[in-house]
Amino acid sequence: MTLSPRSSVAPEDLKVRVLTGADTSLVAGFTCGEVDLDDFLRSDALRLQAHRVARTYLAFHEAELVAYMTVLADAIVLETKERKRLALSAHDHPAVAALKIARLAVSASFRSTHTGVGTALVRIALAIGADVSERVGCRLLTVDAYPESVAFYERLGFVRNRAKLYQGREHPSMRLDIFPPEPPSWAR
Ligand SMILES: CC(C)(COP(=O)(O)OP(=O)(O)OC[C@H]1O[C@@H](n2cnc3c(N)ncnc32)[C@H](O)[C@@H]1OP(=O)(O)O)[C@@H](O)C(=O)NCCC(=O)NCCS
């Protein structure tokens, strides 16, 4: 059997908006292949948004719900060497302000036929982080990655956090500089 190649989705092909209370039946049909991520969208995302602790964005391709992403404010502890890579001094505060990708999932059926949606949403998270940094500090994007998605984040330039606090976790703590000297090609 020959598999047909997957089509690439450009960021401008997606319509992204914030989750609302009117989306209950829409999100009930969303399946990404990870039960925890599906359940979070159905049961927790709206409640946490109402409490102002997380914000969830839905992504549509030709009116089909194809992905969601939840973000929240974060701060991570960096080792001295890691801080130097951000041009921060050894004396600066060890915690660095960040935006966390708390959840990111692309629908399993859409993923089987298309690529690029996960990357497009990380690009949106970068833009949100840059926007937030105009009002309060926000230098990094962070994620506690599912083990199966670590390679996806590494391809985008995320690196693992080395502080002892983050070692031995089931979901590795990773970060990406929102303001690198040279932005990666996918983010331009
Ligand atoms: C991880 C996930 C969000 C990536 O979204 P996606 O739309 O498949 O990602 P993209 O198509 O933008 O991927 C960019 C590249 O990374 C590759 N890639 C995607 N997922 C990958 C993975 N898990 N491991 C290694 N490479 C991966 C793609 O093949 C693509 O390669 P290409 O540029 O050569 O075509 C998606 O696969 C998903 O929802 N997985 C299930 C839930 C999950 O694990 N979420 C992460 C929670 S932290």
Question: What's the CA-to-centroid distance between 119 and ligand 1, angstroms?
Answer: 8
Pocket, ligand 1, Cβ cutoff 6 A: 32-34, 37, 104-106, 111, 115-119, 143, 145-146, 148-149, 151-152, 155
> Which amino acid, 53?
V
Residue 120 lies in a domain: yes
> Which amino acid, 77?
V
Q: Are strands 55-61 and 14-18 parallel, antiparallel or unpaired?
A: antiparallel
What range does the domain containing 56 cover? 7-179
The burial of 69, by beta-carbon neighbours within 10 Å (0-12 exposed, 13-18 middle, 19 or more buried), is given as buried
Q: What is the pLDDT of residue 90?
A: 86
d(CA 91, CA 93): 6
Q: What is the pLDDT of residue 188?
A: 86
Question: What's the CA-to-centroid distance between 58 and ligand 1, angstroms?
Answer: 17
Segment 141-164, tens digit of pLDDT = 999 999 999 999 999 999 999 999
Q: What is the pLDDT of residue 3?
A: 66
Q: Which two tokens stand for residue 177?
A: 């500089």
Q: What is the pLDDT of residue 2?
A: 59
d(CA 82, CA 158): 13
Q: Is 5 helix (H, G, I), strand (E, B) or coil?
A: coil
Please say whether the beta carbons of 86 and 79 come within 8 A.
Answer: no
Residue 187 lies in a domain: no
d(CA 149, CA 71): 17
Please say whether the beta carbons of 139 and 30 come within 8 A.
Answer: no
- CATH number, domain of 37, equals 3.40.630.30
Whole-Å CA distances, 82 to 42, 121, 161? 37, 25, 8
Residue 188 lies in a domain: no
Residue 39 lies in a domain: yes
Please say whether the beta carbons of 106 and 32 come within 8 A.
Answer: yes
Ligand 1, atom 17, lies closest to the CA of 152
Q: Is 163 helix (H, G, I), strand (E, B) or coil?
A: coil
Question: What's the CA-to-centroid distance between 87 and ligand 1, angstroms?
Answer: 30
* DSSP label at residue 42: I
Tens place of pLDDT for every residue, the chain, 188 residues?
556 789 999 999 999 999 999 999 999 999 999 999 999 999 999 999 999 999 999 999 999 999 999 999 999 999 999 999 999 998 898 899 999 999 999 999 999 999 999 999 999 999 999 999 999 999 999 999 999 999 999 999 999 999 999 999 999 999 999 999 999 999 98
Number of domains making up the chain: 1
Whole-Å CA distances, 35 to 56, 95, 110, 112? 17, 32, 17, 18
Residue 184 lies in a domain: no
